[in-house]
A = this chain, B = another copy of it.
Amino acid sequence: MFTSERLRQQISFLKEIDNLKQILRQTVLVKDQRQENDAEHSWHLAMLVVVLSEYSNDSSIDLLRTVKMTLIHDIIEIDAGDTFCYSKHDKQEKTEREREAAHRIFCLLPEQQAQEYIDLWEEFETMNTPEAKFAAAVDRLQPLLLNFYSEGYAWRKHGVKRSQVIERNHHIADGSSELWRFAEALIDESVKRGFLLNG
C-alpha cells in the first residue's frame, strides 16, 4: 500500500499521534467546562504564537520553528501522561519517562526527521532560545486564559493560590514582558472576582 518505506514510517507516526487527542488536561474549555485534551491545546498554542508573535521579547524569532515546537511539545504525553502543573512530583522520574516517550514516538519517523523533532522538543524543554522562550510563554498564557474565562474552574477545584500561579507562570516574562504584564493583571482580576485564592 505504501509507495516507499519512508512514507510508511511517516504515516505510522501520523497515525500514532492521533492518540494525543486522548490525553486530558486539568484545564477546561470556556463553553462547557469539558477537560481540554493535548491536541486541542497544541492547536490553540500554535494560534497564540501566530497571533501574538509581535509581543516576543526577541523581535526576530523564527515563527515556523516556534509553531512547530508548540505543535509537537506535548506528543511525549501520549506515553508519559499529563502532569498537573501545581502537583508535587518527582522531577527526575518525570524527565526520564518523557525522554523515553520522545524516543519511542519520534523514532517512528525516518531518522533525520526523528532527530529534528527530538531536538525541537529538547529545545522547548530547556528554554534557552528565543523561540523556546516564546513557545513556553504562550504554553503558560493559554491555560491562564482558559482558567480566567471558565471562572477559575480548575483553580477552584484544586484550591490553587495566587502565589502558586505567580511562581508557576512568571517565566512568561522571559518570552514576553508585555504578555507577562497582561498575565499579572489577569491574575489580580481573578483574585478580585473570586476565581483564585489570595495568598
Contact = CB atoms under 8 A, between A and B. Distances in A.
Oligomer: number of copies = 2
Interface stretch (A63-71, A125-133, A152-160): A63-71
Nearest to A113: B51
A71 B50 contact: yes
Nearest to A45: B43
Nearest to A32: B22
A17 B39 contact: no
A2 B44 contact: no
A37 B51 CA distance: 22
Interface string A29-41: 1111000110110
Interface string A133-150: 000000000000110010
B51 A109 contact: yes
Contacts of A146: 18
Interface residues of A, number: 50
B3 A185 contact: yes
A17 B43 CA distance: 10
A40 B64 contact: no
Interface stretch (A8-16, A83-91, A96-104, A165-173): A8-16
Contacts of A48: 14
25 contacts: A1-B182, A1-B185, A2-B185, A3-B182, A7-B182, A10-B51, A11-B182, A14-B48, A14-B51, A17-B44, A17-B47, A18-B146, A20-B43, A21-B29, A22-B29, A22-B32, A39-B40, A39-B43, A46-B46, A46-B67, A46-B71, A50-B68, A51-B109, A63-B64, A67-B67
Closest 5 CB pairs between A and B? Answer: A43-B43, A64-B64, A39-B40, A1-B185, A18-B30
Interface of A: 1-3, 7, 10-11, 13-15, 17-22, 29-32, 36-37, 39-40, 42-44, 46-48, 50-52, 55, 63-64, 67-68, 71-72, 109, 113, 145-146, 149, 178, 181-182, 185-186, 189
